[in-house]
């Protein structure tokens, strides 16, 4: 019985490890810089700091929001992210599954989740998945392509 | 009046050129190989040739369909693409806006469009945008990450 418990324990530990495994490939400094940028992006979204959100992108970045054409350029991207008065993103988190550095470019994919606080006080939870293509510009990693779509609960 | 016509002509020519401009960066052989693969992917979709669709992907590829979790691995991807009996994709076209080769990896983004033919004979047109991350494996370019979402008419 003890042995069975141990086997079950190891099985669940293994399942847990494999399903949450993250694969980061590249030098530590670049990986950490991208992880910090992802975390700061969420912070900027939660603070409704649209200039900071804009600065996360390259000047010629492209975003691909659902049901819209490709939105090109930092200024158009800031306009897209700007929420109507009174609406806030209360919670935002990005969980990368893989980051791969290839010289001055990188790709990254994973999941995101968030909670929107509406003017009537109602909260809407959402989650989705994304792919980002990064470019290193003047030693800073910036988002060049940013595409995502939702996961239905 | 002639001059105005010329100015208008040049203006529209310029607008047309800039909105449909394609940017391909990398050696010609790699670019052509990816362009051929995109075209063959559409052909395989139109032929309901699911093995060919599967072969377009790496063994460990990931696709990101709307409202679903990330689907991992060639076999799961083939299952996703397999349409119910009687339903066909009558038309499928991918229009890349940018392809960039970075060694044995590449990224590519653009638009796609298609027509689904339903069992009752009705046709549904759709279009969207995508980002693909490619990997060159044994001299063949395969799709590693494939994410897209729709554009509403």
Domain ranges of chain A: 25-150
Nearest neighbour of A109 by CB, restricted to B102, B145, B149: B145
* B138 vs B35: CA distance, rounded Å: 18
Strands laid side by side in the A23-25 sheet = A23-25, A88-102, A105-117, A123-137, A140-150, A57-64, A71-72
For the whole model, what pTM was predicted?
0.87
For residue A103, list chain B residues with Cβ-Cβ distance below 8 A: 102-103
Residue B104 has pLDDT above 80, yes or no: yes
Cα nearest neighbour of A133 on chain B = B107
For residue A152, list chain B residues with Cβ-Cβ distance below 8 A: 67-68
* Residue matched to tokens 């030098």: A27
Partner B contacted by A107 (CB < 8 A): yes
B55-95 pLDDT, tens digit per residue, is: 999 999 999 999 999 999 999 999 999 999 999 999 999 99
Which CATH code fits A25-150? 3.10.450.50
Task: Give the phi and the psi of residue B30 in degrees, each rounded to 5.
Answer: -65, -45
User: Which residues have CB under 8 Å from B87's CB, separation 6+?
Assistant: B116, B117, B118, B119
Cα nearest neighbour of A69 on chain B = B151
Q: Identify the CATH assignment for B24-151 out of 3.10.450.50, 1.10.3720.10, 3.40.30.10, 3.40.50.720.
A: 3.10.450.50
Over residues A39-44, the mean pLDDT reads 98
For residue B147, list chain A residues with Cβ-Cβ distance below 8 A: 109, 129-131, 147-149
Rounded to the nearest integer, the mean pLDDT of chain B is: 91
Q: Binning pLDDT at 50, 70 and 90, where does residue B152 land?
A: confident
């Amino acid at each position: 019985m003890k042995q069975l418990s141990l086997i079950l324990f190891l099985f669940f530990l293994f399942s847990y490890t494999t399903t949450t495994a993250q694969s980061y490939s590249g030098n530590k400094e670049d990986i950490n810089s991208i992880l910090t940028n992802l975390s700061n992006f969420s912070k900027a979204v939660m603070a409704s700091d649209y200039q900071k959100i804009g600065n996360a992108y390259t000047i010629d970045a492209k975003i691909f929001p659902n049901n819209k054409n490709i939105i090109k350029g930092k200024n158009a991207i800031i306009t897209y992210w700007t929420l109507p008065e009174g609406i806030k993103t209360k919670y935002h988190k990005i969980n990368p599954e893989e980051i791969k550095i290839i010289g001055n470019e990188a790709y990254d994919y994973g999941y995101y989740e968030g909670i929107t606080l509406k003017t009537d006080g109602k909260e809407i939870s959402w989650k989705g998945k994304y792919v980002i293509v990064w470019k290193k510009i003047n030693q800073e990693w910036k988002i060049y392509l940013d595409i995502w779509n939702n996961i239905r609960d």
